[in-house]
Copies of this chain bind each other. A is one copy, B any other.
């Protein structure tokens, strides 16, 4: 048996088409297009790459994206003041904070200040809490992308044994909440897990987001499992994921790297921009 490779680019295209149509509907009705602002502090190679991809995606669907750039030495107070200004600016329909922030700026302080209605990435405490409480108002883009992929492949999540390798606030913890909201059984393992294989081996759905190239081998995976590879690791031979090629021999479905979760995450970011735009028009 060879696993079906799930084409993330195709899923992303469907989502982009939907956003494009919606954006134009609003433009025809109200003569207004979404305008989102990215707040960037300092320089970061990886996030610059992601930003470029996102800007390109925004352009394609008619979302205008602008940038507010600070040097790495800016004070927390100055960033907070800018966020407050963006909260009140009627011409701004969504705000993104580029992570990671320099260590002297508290991410939790910044996200406490950001208006939850303009929170494109779903990282404000209020949006995180609503999600945990089962009210998925704005969901962080990577967990959202994982859900969209499973939805596209028509996987019923109820009763499934799901294993997530990641317990960060950006991926693992929100994703666990999303699966629990859908009555999956959920296990979260990570770098401090004693016996990783005892977890991965029982997964109907295995979501790996460790950032360790090739960590997941075929002996880790149950026959016919759905393997979602969230790893994006740059190497000399291009970008690779957490999952070794041999896994294709046992898994039922698998998302590739590149061309899997990555493009869907960018597309889900557009979906969230559409959401915050609609929030602002209410």
Taking CB atoms, residues of chain B closer than 8 Å to A108 are 130, 133-135
* 0/1 string, A124-140, CB within 8 A of B gives 1: 11111111111100000
Contact A185 B189, beta carbon cutoff 8 Å: yes
- Cα distance A194–B126 in the bound complex, in angstroms: 33
Which residue from chain B places its CB closest to the CB of A122 in the assembled complex?
Answer: B129
Task: Tell me how many chains of this kind the complex includes.
Answer: 2
Q: How many residues of A contact B (CB 8 A)?
A: 40
Contact B159 A193, beta carbon cutoff 8 Å: yes
Stretch of A54-62, A169-177, A230-238 on the interface side: A169-177
- Cα distance A130–B133 in the bound complex, in angstroms: 13
Q: Answer whether residue A7 sits at the interface, using C-beta atoms and an 8 A cutoff.
A: no
Q: Answer whether residue A217 sits at the interface, using C-beta atoms and an 8 A cutoff.
A: no
- Cα distance A190–B134 in the bound complex, in angstroms: 16
Q: Answer whether residue A245 sits at the interface, using C-beta atoms and an 8 A cutoff.
A: no
User: DSSP majority for the A interface?
Assistant: mixed
Which residue from chain B places its CB closest to the CB of A106 in the assembled complex?
Answer: B135
* 8 Å CB contact of A183 from B124, B132, B135, B192: B192
- Cα distance A158–B199 in the bound complex, in angstroms: 17
* 0/1 string, A143-170, CB within 8 A of B gives 1: 0000000000000001101000001010
- Cα distance A176–B108 in the bound complex, in angstroms: 20
Q: Answer whether residue A79 sits at the interface, using C-beta atoms and an 8 A cutoff.
A: no
* 8 Å CB contact of A125 from B111, B125, B188, B190: B125
Contact B177 A132, beta carbon cutoff 8 Å: yes
* 0/1 string, A184-208, CB within 8 A of B gives 1: 1111111011100011001000000
Knowing A126-B126, A176-B188 are in contact, say whether A132-B169 is a contact too (CB < 8 A): yes
Question: Footprint of B on A, CB under 8 Å?
Answer: 108, 111, 123-135, 158-159, 161, 167, 169, 172-174, 176-177, 180, 183-190, 192-194, 198-199, 202
